Amino acid sequence: MPRDVIVPDQDRNLYDNFHFAPAVRAGGLLLCSGQIGLDAAGKPPEDPEEEFRCAWRGVGRVLAAAGLGYADIVEFTSYHVGLGRHIAAFMKVKDEFVTEPWPAWTAIGVEELAVAGAPGWRFA
């Protein structure tokens, strides 16, 4: 099956150093890797809402590189450290980026994420 690897310029170091694509287009779908909400210094913000915004901006960057936008999301899974503590803030921020018609969504609580100290969520 033909596939198109999507690597925004800002994510080139992740592709080169960690050997994964931010997204791959195959079979008419765009499959995205996880996004952790990191600030410009590469650290998770202290405020969970700002962390979520950073992650959604990362999602938007990958979508834009593929010629898509938030309205093209039909399904996503989010992974949360402290799901119960952060789900209301996550939903508030999500609605700043994703609008009706709402995509399918699964939220999963996990013990940790790939970046140490990332308190919030990961979009996959």
Binned average pLDDT, 10 residues per bin, the chain of 124 residues: 93 91 96 90 88 95 97 95 93 98 96 69 49
DSSP 17-34: HH---SEEEETTEEEE--
What predicted TM-score, i.e. pTM, was given to this entire model? Answer: 0.89
User: What integer pLDDT is reported at residue 117 of this predicted model?
Assistant: 61
pLDDT at 42: 82
- Return the pLDDT at 28: 92
Cβ neighbours around 75 below 10 Å, total: 9
Pick the CATH number of 12-77 from 3.60.20.10, 3.40.190.10, 3.40.50.150, 3.30.1330.40: 3.30.1330.40
pLDDT at 104: 98
**What's the CA gap between 118 and 6, in Å, rounded?**
24
Q: What is the pLDDT of residue 38?
A: 86
